[in-house]
Structure formats: C-alpha cells, structure tokens
A and B are shown apart, each in its own frame.
Chain A
C-alpha cells in the first residue's frame, strides 16, 4: 500500500505539521514503507481471533466518583505564556 503526496499533505495539515515541499517526497516514501510493513500483517490468518483494542490483555480499573483535586491555578498559570482574569489567553480563534 502506498500513500500519495496529496494524502501526506492532508494528514500533515490535520496534524498541524509543516512539511517543506522539498521533504515531501521523502515523507511519501517513508510512510509508504511503513504502510507496506503493516500490510504484511494481513497475511496472517486471524479467523476467530477477537480484535484487541489495547496491547495489554487487561480491563480498565475504575475510579470512585470523588473530588480529590484542589485548586492550583496560580501554579499552572505561572508557566502559561499569557493569562488574564484567570483565563489562559490564546491567539484569536474566530473572526
């Protein structure tokens, strides 16, 4: 299985990654190689094998519904680039 240059661009855009035009071909080749490697797994007969959602064959442990966290806003916001009135500030997202 191979991936096209257009698909690489689209995936990069969705992941907000900048891929310089001159490196595009390298990404196409490397990603296609990875997909080919994964494709080889399809050769294994998995009839009757239940798909796993997680590599560990275990079940999720659940937490009791109790509030255990206290307010540490000042600490967290001390490393934020910009804050105001307790809010984190980010570049404007709507026009």
Chain B
C-alpha cells in the first residue's frame, strides 16, 4: 500500500538590518566574539528592549509579497527555555498576534503544474547566541554576538507532498527574500535556515505524527534529510512501530536523522506577552508606504521576460532566481537586441564561470557592457559562438575588452570564401577515401569534414560559410 508524505517548513530568515532587533548593537558577520553583545543582548537586569523600526518594515515587505494580512496590532511574547546561549532565559518572539498571517506562494512542479503553498504566518523574533563545544577544559564557550539578531520566522502550512516540493518552495522563498532585500540569503552563514516538519499517512487519512528535523542549511540537505526521514517513518510503521513527536537532527555524513534526546519537556515554552514591550501598531499608511517601495517580484519579472523578450519558461525561470542576474541579463538583452543570445550567454558561460569561481554576478570580472561588446562581435560575424567562448575566458582573466582580445590573439573569423575554399580543397584532396564514402551515401561523414576544416582554420572559419562551401564541393 502506498504512503503519502506531508511536509511543512519553518524558515528562519535573518533580516538585513544594521542593528539588532531590540538593541543598537551591530549584526555584522564575523566580528570577534562578544564584541557586538551589549547589556541588552547579554540580558543584564534592568535593561529594556526597544524595537527596531526597520525589522518591522521588512516583515511588512515580506507579508505584502506573499499576499498576506498585516496585523494592525501585533504583540511580542516570551518563549521560555533554558540554554546558555540564551542569556535572558527566554527568547522574545511572537505567539498569538504575529505581524504577518495567511499568505501564500505558488511553486512550479517538475511537470509544469503550479501548486499554491499556504503560509500560515511570519513573525519577528530575536536569534540566540552561539555555543562552541570545542574543548575549553570541559566547558562550553559562549559567543553572544548573534544574540538579538532580527529573524523573520516564516511558517508554511503542511501543504507539501514530497521533498522536491519542499525544495521548490524553499528556493522560491529564498529568491523572494533576496529580491525584497530583507535577507541576504547566505545559507553558509546561517542567514537562511530551515526546520522541516515531516509525517506520513495513507492517502486521505488524518495527518500522521510528525517529527521535526532541525537546521537544514542547504537545498541538497533538505531533500536528502526529508527523504531519509520519510523512509525511516514508513519502515517504523510497517514493522509495527509508532512515530513519536520529537526533534531530530540531520547528519549529512551518515545520511540519517537522529533523535535529539533530552528535549522532551523543553517544548513547554509557557509563552506569555512580554511586559517589556507594548503592542506594535501598524497603520494602513505604514503599509502603503512599504508597498510603494516594493520591487518587481520574481513571478512578475519571469512573466515579463517571457512576454517582452520571448524567452521560454526554463530560461526565464533561471534568469529571475536572482535580482542581480535578472538586471544583468536585461541590460545585455536590451543593448544587443537579441534576448535569446543574451539568455544563452548569461545562463551559460557567465553562470558557469561564476559558479566555478564561487562569485556573485555583482563581482563578475566581465560586466554587462563588456559582454554586450562581445555579443556584438558574434552578431556581426567577427567571431563564431565557439571562438567567442575563448574570448570570454580571456576577458574574464583580465586580458582586455572583446575587441582587444580578438585583435591581440588574431581570432577574427575567416569569412573570406576563397580562403575557406582553399582549406576545403586541401582536405578533400587529402581524404579521398572519406570523400568516396560520403559520395556513396554515408551522410554522417559530413561532420568529419567540418571538424577537419575547423581544425585547419583553428576554429576561425565562419561555420555557415564553411558548411555551404563544403556541401557544394563534396557534392562536386
């Protein structure tokens, strides 16, 4: 009998503010331990939290982008638990009245269908510090720089039915927060992390008992962790066992999830409204002020790229995952006038080189204007697409502009028919056997002659001219 997987995600997005959510400490990454932890962050007696306006605006921003309700009155609550990296003994979070509620986001499945994922809520809260478990002669080291960093916890409905859907949702949200400029999306630094609630059931039955998998900080891990957890639960139930509601940790080295013991009664958080903070009022004009600053969102941009530039779904999707990439593409497409060519290059060579060198497009050694210059040389037949890739590599390495590289390396395409004819004549003369076979019907050999001719011209022969002349000569 078959099983159905049910997944809900809780995603923590670190907000790109300058200062902490309740204090004036910096949240810059990588500072020396505890140099960005002041009296409020340390939970000293007698201090009071003061809410960061920007954090509230960013929550509204996300709320508007997912078509959610923005609470006119929002309340902060204390979530009580003991852990050394939480100095106050409670985390300031939101419980009953979060800033954002009842939103949704559409994801595209592999077969092209669109599925709507409900977003229950998104609430503001403070991050905890970091515990370092290396050996400090039997003790644990605590760095509270991260304590008080603003987070937006975005909670989905249990609407996903496979690990692939969960990844699609997470990627979409990842792109969205970056578009909105509310989170840098850096998963390695923990700016965007995910907990997954996973359960299985017979199709149509009530939800099964769920396990929560903590701290999944890459798209690859989340897919693997969910698939392994689903397998574990099915094996457990089919062998007569029962899934217990618990928190589990994914171990990527062993490819398994395992129980985090000792947290059974920690789930009793005894939330209550934080008496240190008054309710937050969000007026209609505050919401409209934020709405006026919203950028074009990924879904709208993708549709526009398809309509305006005639791109296919795949290209448009890739190009709109990241706002800077989309801007780069758009600049190139408009300047060179051939959107398909621009899309192929941005999704091809440019993306490949960026990935190989682990660079963001903003740090690309070949800017959009430099790429346009190169594409123009493809369009006017100065170089072939293939040679252009070599030129691009040279440009990437700082060897000059497209024209400089083409000039310096003598890569200008040979369009002169007599030169190409001479090359082909020689090849035909040197390969009588192949010529005979070709003429007796072995069409596939055409590729062989093209290869020989390209090699002889060091790739510089114009491919169209070459093909035409070759065909004519071979048919002789």
Known A66-B19, A85-B33; judge A58-B136 contact (CB<8 A): no
**B139–A90 touching, CB < 8 Å:** yes
A56 to B279, CA, bound (A): 10
Q: Is B141 an interface residue (CB 8 A)?
A: yes
A15 to B266, CA, bound (A): 11
A3 to B110, CA, bound (A): 55
Q: Is A87 an interface residue (CB 8 A)?
A: yes
Chain A neighbourhood of B156, CB < 8 A = none
Chain B neighbourhood of A63, CB < 8 A = 19, 24, 50-53
**A82–B139 touching, CB < 8 Å:** yes
Q: Is the interface of B mostly helix, strand, loop or mixed?
A: loop
A85 to B139, CA, bound (A): 13
A61 to B140, CA, bound (A): 37
* Interface size, chain B (Cβ < 8 Å): 50
Q: Is A18 an interface residue (CB 8 A)?
A: no
B5-40: contact bitstring with A at CB < 8 Å (1 yes, 0 no)? 000000000000111000111100000111111110
Q: Is the interface of A mostly helix, strand, loop or mixed?
A: loop
CB proximity of B35 to chain A, nearest CB, Å: 4
**A87–B141 touching, CB < 8 Å:** yes
B116-150: contact bitstring with A at CB < 8 Å (1 yes, 0 no)? 00000000000000011100101111111000000
* Interface size, chain A (Cβ < 8 Å): 38
Q: Is B280 an interface residue (CB 8 A)?
A: yes
* Closest Cβ neighbor of A11 among chain B residues: B270
Which A residues, 25 to 57, have Cβ-Cβ distances below 8 Å to chain B?
A: 53-56
**A91–B34 touching, CB < 8 Å:** no
A63 to B280, CA, bound (A): 12
A-B pair number, CB within 8 angstroms: 127
CB proximity of A8 to chain B, nearest CB, Å: 14
CB proximity of B183 to chain A, nearest CB, Å: 15
Q: Is B54 an interface residue (CB 8 A)?
A: yes
Q: Is B181 an interface residue (CB 8 A)?
A: no
**B51–A90 touching, CB < 8 Å:** no
Known A76-B34, A77-B34, A93-B84; judge A68-B280 contact (CB<8 A): no
Of A58, A60, A88, which contacts B51 at CB under 8 A? Answer: A60
Which A residues, 65 to 95, have Cβ-Cβ distances below 8 Å to chain B?
A: 65-69, 71-73, 76-77, 82, 84-94
Of B84, B140, B265, B278, which contacts A59 at CB under 8 A? Answer: B278
**A89–B142 touching, CB < 8 Å:** yes
A60 to B278, CA, bound (A): 5
**B142–A86 touching, CB < 8 Å:** no
Closest 4 CB pairs of A and B: A68-B24, A87-B141, A65-B54, A62-B53
Beyond A64-B54, A87-B141, 7 additional pairs, beta carbon < 8 A: A56-B278, A63-B52, A72-B38, A73-B35, A76-B39, A88-B144, A94-B140
What are 20 A-B interface contacts by the 8 Å CB criterion?
A: A53-B279, A54-B275, A55-B275, A59-B279, A59-B281, A60-B279, A62-B52, A63-B19, A65-B18, A65-B55, A66-B19, A69-B36, A73-B32, A87-B33, A87-B34, A87-B143, A88-B34, A91-B139, A93-B140, A94-B131
What is A's interface to B at a CB cutoff of 8 Å?
10, 13-16, 53-56, 58-69, 71-73, 76-77, 82, 84-94
